Structure formats: structure tokens, C-alpha cells
Structure 1
Amino acid sequence: MVKILGRRGRVLGAAMGAGFGLLAAAPVLAGPFEFAPSPQTDLNRVYRVDRATGEVGACQFQLKEGGVGLTVCFPSGEGAGPQTPSDYSLMPSRHEREGGIFRVNLRTGEMSICYVFDDKTVCTPQVK
């Protein structure tokens, strides 16, 4: 059975089609986290920053005797917890023996160095 739509049905159908087209063409928004590896070439550590709060953490692979390895994560410690809300990013240095990473505030230009110390991720105070 074919139903013939009047003008209202055609306008509604066209609007719905355009809406679906916009949804399909919309860019996928980035997640709230950014990840970057430690610049140290013999360290398998990856840092994570919450882009809005600046909170930093790190994880790395660790061998386990007699079995599959495991992921060890270092929670936020001194200076690595949430900061003033802004737009944060991670920036590795080019120093191949550096285990830490820069946390940068893209709005203010402030930076700090974050690294793992005593099973916690810690960061120096932010400065410009």
C-alpha cells in the first residue's frame, strides 16, 4: 500500500533527511583525555592528561614472572591532581633519557614537568 504525502509530509521528510545528513557529516568530538609516551626510549610508560582539569596519571607494562605481563598504573599524586579548569595537553621533550613529560596549559602558556615518583604521578608547580 502506497501512501501519498501532502505538502506537510514532504517538508517534514526533507527536514528529517537534512538532519540525518548533518549528523552523518558532523565531526567526532575528541574525548576528554590525551595520551603521550614518555620520551625515554627504553621506558614503556604512557602519560594521560584530562584536557579540562589537567589531572595527570601514567601507566606502564610490567613483566610478570611465569605468565602474561600486567599494566601498572600510577595515580595522581602531589601537583598532578586537578588544576584550574582550562585546556591542557602533554608535550614530550626530545631528550631520549627523560622519563617525565611536560603538562602544558594551552590557554595560559603555563608548564610543569610530570613524572613517576614513589608509585605516584607527580608534577612540579606550573610556571610561565
Structure 2
Amino acid sequence: MRGRAGYRVRVAGIAAGLLVAGAAQAASYEFVPAPQADLNRVYRVDKATGEVISCQYGLQENTIGTTLCFGPGEGAGPQAPSEYSLVASRHLREAGVFRVNQRTGAMSICYVLDDAVVCTPQGNAGSTAPAPAGKP
């Protein structure tokens, strides 16, 4: 009898481990709405690669509408492997979001330009970013 109880505990432990691993894989994206008050756009980031896309509702005649998605353009594709998240500002007229590298603190701004999501180069207050034009 004692052997069976030990077997059940081991099986339960393996099952719990598989559930945790499955949940970690399922949680590979984060979604954040654009802060702009009159824009129905949502951004998605791959939490491991930093790749950003965006989708929004679009009108289409004689239908209930369509989902318009914008793939990754310049700077929005995969970055160095890390832990990424998205942060929306509280600026009601802002259509973009911040992509944040949780490990390094580096940030970039991502927004839709034409038919793609683009992101600025990653910046970090501790980095040696070039001075703006006309500033020493």
C-alpha cells in the first residue's frame, strides 16, 4: 500500500510540473491597448523576443467589420532574447506604447506607421546615447 501512495504523489508532482510548464508557454504574449482615447488598437509583444504587432477593428461594407493587423516593421521585429513587456502612457492622444526590456531597463516607443508597427531604437538612461542635434 505504501508503494502505491508514493507512486500517486510522484504522478501528481509530474502532472503539476507539466501544468506549470504549459502555463509558462501559454503566457508568452502580453497585450496592451493604445492609450489614445478614440483608437481601438491593441498591441501585442512576444515576452521572450520583444517582437511587437498591433491589431484594431476596421469597418468593412456589408459586414460586421474586420480585424486589421499590422506586422512588425523597422525595429519591431525580434530583439535579443530577454523579458519584454509593454507599457501604455496616460497621454490620451498617444497612439503608441513603450516596449520595456525588464532585464536591462532599456525602452523603445512602438507605433503603427503606414502598414506596420515600428519601434525606435532601445534607449536607457544609463546608456551613452548621442546628444540631440545642436546640443553638446
User: Shorter-normalised TM-score: what interval?
Assistant: 0.7 to 0.9
Please identify, of 32-41 and 107-116, the stretch whose mean Cα deviation from structure 2 is larger.
32-41
Question: Which structure has more strand as a fraction of its residues?
Answer: 1
Unpaired segments of 5 or more residues in structure 2? 125-136
Please identify, of 23-32 and 101-110, the stretch whose mean Cα deviation from structure 2 is larger.
23-32
What residue number does 1:52 align with?
Answer: 48
2-structure distance, mates of 1:90, 1:65? 33
2:63 pairs with 55, 67, 70, which one?
67
What residue number does 1:41 align with?
Answer: 37
What residue number does 1:4 align with?
Answer: none
1:78 pairs with 74, 80, 96, which one?
74
2-structure distance, mates of 1:85, 1:24? 27
1:117 pairs with 113, 124, 132, which one?
113
1:17 and 2:8 aligned = yes
Unpaired segments of 5 or more residues in structure 1? 1-6
- The two structures have a TM-score, normalised by structure 1, of 0.85
1:59 deviates by 0.5
- SS of residue paired to 1:115: strand
